C-alpha cells in the first residue's frame, strides 16, 4: 500500500496544484469584495461560471480559424475576463449599490440579495444556451496542440495545457499583487477598505473604487472559469456552485480580506482535496469513495471558524477609540 502511495504522490501533488490555482483565482474575488464592503458576494460563483461559458463560446467561434491553439486560448481568456468583469460591475450597480445607498446595516439583506443574483445569473445563462444551442452542457473544443503530454521526473505526467494553466495563474497572482500594492487603484482600494468616509474626504470616490474592485475580482473569476473549462472540458450553468463554495472556504482558510491569504488558501485546499480524493479509497479499501473529497472543504471551514476564524494570514483588527 505504501509503495502505491509513494508512486502516486508526485502526480497527486501536481494535480492538487492545478486545482488549487483555480480555487485561488476564484477566492481572490471573494476576498477583494469582502475587504472593501465586508460583504460575502456569493454570486461570484456564477461570475466564474459565466467566464467559463464565455471562454467556451469564444473557442467555438475560433475553432475553424487557422489561429494556433495557444492564441485561441489567450483570446478566450481575455474575452472571458472582460465579460465576467462586466457582469460583476452590473451586479454591483444594480443589486448591491442601491442597498448600500439606503444605508441598511442589516448584513442579511445583501447576503440574501447575493443568493438571489446567483439564481438569476444561472437561469439567464441556461436560457441563453437553450435558445442558442438547445443544450446546457457545453464542451470545450479539443486543442490538439495543447494536449501534448510530457514525462517529468518522479514518474510525473503533465499536459501542456496544465503547464499553461499554472503559468497563467501565477502571472495573474503577481499582476494582482502589483495592482494592489503598487498602483493608484490599489492604494484607493486599500483606502476605501480601511475607511470609506476618510477616503472620500481625500478625493477618492468609494462608488468608483467599489465598481473597479468588482471588475477586478470578476476578471479573476472569469479567467479561473476559462481555465476550469480547459481542464475539465465540460461546463453547465450550475458548475459555479461547488467551486465557488470551495473557493470561499479557501478565502476563509487564508484569511478573508487578505489577497495573499486567498492564493495560499486555494493552493492548500486544492492539495488537501486531491490527496483525499486519491487516498481515501486506497486506505479504506474502497469503503470511502472519491466522492467524499468534497467533505474536506466543509470540515476545514468548520475547523477554521472554530479555532482560527481570522485565517492563516488574516489579522485581528483592533480599532482604538
Domain ranges across the chain: 8-141+153-307
| pLDDT at position 321 over 60 | no
With cut-offs at 50, 70 and 90, classify the pLDDT of residue 213: very high
Whole-number mean pLDDT of the chain? Answer: 87
- 148: phi then psi, degrees, rounded to nearest 5: -60, 130
| pLDDT at position 319 over 60 | no
> Looking at per-residue confidence, does 48 or 1 come out higher?
48
User: Which one, of 206, 207, 210, lies nearest residue 198 by Cα?
Assistant: 206
The CATH topology of domain 8-141+153-307 is ABC transporter involved in vitamin B12 uptake, BtuC (1.10.3470)
CA–CA distances in Å: residue 54 to residues 85, 139, 199, 221, 287: 12, 12, 36, 12, 39
| pLDDT at position 6 over 90 | no
10: burial class by Cβ within 10 Å (0-12, 13-18, 19+)? middle
With cut-offs at 50, 70 and 90, classify the pLDDT of residue 233: confident
| pLDDT at position 317 over 60 | no
Q: What percent of the chain has pLDDT over 90?
A: 43
CA 289, 247, 139: angle at the middle one, nearest 5?
A: 70
User: Kind and range of the H or E element at 149?
Assistant: strand 149-152
pLDDT tens, position by position, 100-118 = 888 777 778 888 999 999 9
DSSP letter assigned to residue 54:
H
What was the pLDDT predicted at 138? 85
Please state whether beta strands 234-235 and 138-139 pair in parallel, antiparallel, or not at all (unpaired): antiparallel
Q: Looking at residues 78-107, what average pLDDT do you find?
A: 90
Q: 255 with 118: CB under 8 angstroms?
A: no
User: Which one, of 231, 270, 240, lies nearest residue 48 by Cα?
Assistant: 240
Grid coordinates standing for 131?
Answer: 435558445
Single pTM value for the model = 0.90
pLDDT tens, position by position, 246-276 = 999 899 889 888 888 999 999 999 998 998 8
CA distance 131 to 229: 21
Amino acid at each position: 500500500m505504501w509503495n502505491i502511495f509513494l508512486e502516486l504522490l508526485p502526480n497527486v501533488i501536481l494535480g492538487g496544484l492545478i486545482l488549487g490555482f483555480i480555487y485561488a483565482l476564484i477566492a481572490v474575488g471573494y476576498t477583494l469584495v469582502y475587504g472593501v464592503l465586508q460583504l460575502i458576494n456569493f454570486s461570484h460563483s456564477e461570475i466564474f461560471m459565466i467566464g467559463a461559458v464565455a471562454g467556451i463560446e469564444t473557442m467555438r467561434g475560433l475553432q475553424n480559424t487557422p489561429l494556433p491553439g495557444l492564441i485561441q486560448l489567450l483570446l478566450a481568456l481575455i474575452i472571458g475576463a472582460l465579460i465576467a468583469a462586466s457582469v460583476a460591475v452590473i451586479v454591483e450597480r444594480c443589486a448591491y449599490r442601491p442597498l448600500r445607498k439606503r444605508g441598511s446595516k442589516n448584513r442579511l439583506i445583501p447576503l440574501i440579495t447575493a443568493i438571489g443574483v446567483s439564481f438569476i445569473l444561472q437561469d439567464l445563462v441556461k436560457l441563453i444556451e437553450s435558445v442558442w444551442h438547445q443544450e446546457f452542457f457545453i464542451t470545450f473544443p479539443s486543442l490538439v496542440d495543447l494536449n501534448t503530454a510530457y514525462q517529468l521526473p518522479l514518474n510525473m505526467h503533465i499536459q501542456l495545457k496544465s503547464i499553461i494553466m499554472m503559468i497563467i495563474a501565477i502571472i495573474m497572482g503577481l499582476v494582482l499583487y502589483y495592482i494592489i500594492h503598487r498602483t493608484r487603484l490599489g492604494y484607493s482600494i486599500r483606502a476605501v477598505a480601511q475607511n470609506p468616509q476618510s477616503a472620500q474626504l481625500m478625493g477618492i470616490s468609494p462608488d468608483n473604487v467599489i465598481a473597479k474592485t468588482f471588475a477586478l475580482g470578476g476578471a479573476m473569476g472569469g479567467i479561473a472559469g476559462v481555465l476550469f473549462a480547459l481542464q475539465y472540458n465540460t461546463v453547465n450553468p450550475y458548475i459555479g456552485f461547488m467551486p465557488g463554495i470551495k473557493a470561499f472556504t479557501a478565502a476563509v482558510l487564508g484569511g478573508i480580506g487578505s489577497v495573499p491569504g486567498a492564493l495560499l488558501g486555494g493552493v492548500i485546499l486544492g492539495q488537501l482535496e486531491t490527496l483525499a480524493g486519491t487516498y481515501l479509497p486506497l486506505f479504506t479499501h474502497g469503503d470511502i469513495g472519491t466522492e467524499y473529497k468534497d467533505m474536506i472543504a466543509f470540515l476545514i471551514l468548520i475547523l477554521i471558524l472554530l479555532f482560527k476564524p481570522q485565517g492563516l494570514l488574516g489579522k485581528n483588527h483592533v480599532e482604538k477609540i
